[in-house]
Structure 1
Amino acid sequence: MTQQHIHCTVDNCHYWAQGNKCVANEILVASDQLGADQPDRIDATTAQNLNPTPVNTCMSTCCKSFVAGNSPNTNVDGIKKQ
């Protein structure tokens, strides 16, 4: 399988790395509505249990894997840095 490269410009995220790279081993991209409705523990590790959340534009999506870089709860979602 080809390795994917996820690019992210949110430099205050725990998973952000030099060159605008996301170094999370998993991410969950969802609709803004799902992101707003679900607690932080609902993330990539639980994605297989979620219903699809179709949207009409990229402006209606969010990366649910965000964790603030200075957060003491960097393991709240079970995702790890690569």
Structure 2
Amino acid sequence: MRRISVILLSATLLLGVTTISPTTTDAAAKKFANCTELNKTYKGGVAKAANIKNKGGKTKYTPFVSKEIYEANIKSDRDKDGIACEK
């Protein structure tokens, strides 16, 4: 009887831990009014992927990589190189 109780308790704890695991957020990516506002949060701008190369020349900061944030602020990518508001 004690062995069954231990097994049930262990199974309950194991299932409880797996259901408490973190989930992805459904919050929309933040849309910034302009590059000045975006650069206050992301100094190097926002890149759509890590392998994107800047067409505009040398930059001072490395861009933050996030496809969702880039897509929300795609209007700020003036040179269409995949990095919005690069600095």
Taking structure 1 as the reference length, the TM-score comes to 0.25
Q: TM-score normalized by structure 2?
A: 0.24
* Structure showing the higher helix proportion among its residues: 2
Q: Which is richer in strand? A: 1
Higher RCO by CA contacts (8 Å cutoff, separation 6 or greater): 1
